[in-house]
Structure 1
Amino acid sequence: MSNVGRRGAATPRELARVGDRLSFIYLERCVVHRNDNAITAEDAEGVTHIPSATIGTLLLGPGTRITHQAMSVLGDSGAGVVWVGEHGVRFYAGGRALTRSSGLVEAQATAWANLRTRLDVARAMYRLRFPGEDPAGRTRQELLSMEGRRVKECYHSEATRTGVPWRRREFHRDDFAAADPPNQAVTAAAQCMYGIAHAVVAAIGCSPGLGFVHSGHERSFVLDVADLYKTEVAIPAAFDAAAEGPEDVAARTRRALRERINKRRLLDRCVQDIKGLLRYEEAETEGSADRVSLQSDHGAEVEAGRNYDSEIIW
């Protein structure tokens, strides 16, 4: 029982920290397979080897096929795997936590389960997003109004900076091409940020579904985390890509976004921001091994892997 979840491939100390990884890698029209602890991408031009432990998120575009062995090594490495549609508007992700500990998800659940602390975390998120405004004492409706105003201001300021014409935000769920180029770029940037945020959330062992701003969706917390960097990183990268012209705007957006993310070491910052928002400090030895205990009465925990029969543990 104490060996639940044990993985023979690598320990958390041996794996690259999520903050040290490539933000994301995009592949299309190729076959993804495994070679030892690397994945390979084979297309008409040959085979490319990519160490799995260096990947934050793998984006699989149109025409890609991936083997069971490749998914296995990516899962063991804690990498996020995201299937994206023809224009990046379809999303599916998976991954396993790099940590063995449940400490961070327990801190998340504790903060989420109390309405007062849930609102406190939501306010702290807005404080990170909009440093010029103090959300202390703001209601949920006031926070939403503040966000709407600031995001609109960001769209217009980026349009002015880049010279890109902008009317309003439009998202056509089933028809990516129905939107104009800047809206396509914003959508492509958002999907990339969701994939990156999901990979970080999964890698550090948080629950994707327990959101503090968003609610009711399996990726509510992922959306919360991605939004932390919307006005600072995602929207500017989208407008920079749109300013270069309407052709292939989604691919240019991904390249512009990846450059910004790597330059700013956003993955490392994302990890630290989540821990700060949840007021979590990791113990020195936490996550170094598979450790499973049993819950007893009065908050006590006892060692797993044995039958306590009629013993009473205090």
Structure 2
Amino acid sequence: MNIFSYHQPTDGVSAVALKEAGPKAKYLGGGTNLVDLMRETVERPDALIDVTQLSNTIEVRADGSLLVGAGVKNTALATHAVVRSQFPALSRAILAGASAQIRNVATVGGNILQRTRCRYFYDNAARCNKRQPNSGCDALERFNRYHAILGASTNCVATHPSDMCVALVALDAVVHLQGPKGTRKLRLQDLHRLPGETPEIETELHPDELITAVEIPPLSLGYRSTYRKVRDRASYAFALVSVAAALDINGAGEVQDVRLALGGVAHKPWRALKAEAILKGQRATADTFRAASEAELADAIGLRDNAFKIELAKRTIVAVLEELKGENA
């Protein structure tokens, strides 16, 4: 049995102080991921610091941006009137991510920092460099249908499981952080790391830092956004490939602006910067969409069971952009 203490701080400074004083302490949001990991003995904290009540409001600012507290429940964010009208990709991503029961308790901060659902990470009998550095990676040679095709390494081919994060990356979201040295901001697309030689280091968070909020900046094309998730079954499976996109086409039929991010393909939510660069200023045609998808997936590497994801990702990008093109008409 893993014995741990439980703390409920009243502010972020107190929460960070508790974390700093306990090297094995963990911040606790809704617990939909951490409790599972504790049950499987992957995580063995000696203290839980409940941060769900510290920042749980959604502020709509005068400039059209949103400041979403890290303790906001996923359901509250997905059903918020401004999110549904101005950032529909985010609402759709959250609704695609889990059952209503999970969304009702899962928090925004916890969703961002959830760990991979790779079966070998959860299996203490398997080799996993993320769980035990330098032990090897069983996913490389064993069943790897759900694993990465972009940005992976010989040390880890796990994928980040969040749907919400894919939409937030596409919407240029910024995380607000509080740590022992004060506060700072970081673009969400820069928060998560690729595995490289150290897959056990998953984010750019400083020691003991806490996510306090997520800022979604005003985005003129945000209301023309969507999220599509391709999965093995319709009922709350993790993504094989997902695409979050926003598209603005001018009167000449050219791509004025675009945002594009992929899920289910990498160790982090993948911002498709190469595709965006090709699309901007070009005619919004199926051929242009296909060329952009080809460029983004040019460096993709398939494993034994997941090479199909490369073509699937390309086709899903094209399909989503075609859908948004219709909404621009």
Q: Normalization by structure 2: what TM-score?
A: 0.23
Normalized per residue, the structure richer in helix is: 1
Higher relative contact order structure (alpha carbons within 8 Å, sequence separation ≥ 6): 1
Normalized per residue, the structure richer in strand is: 2
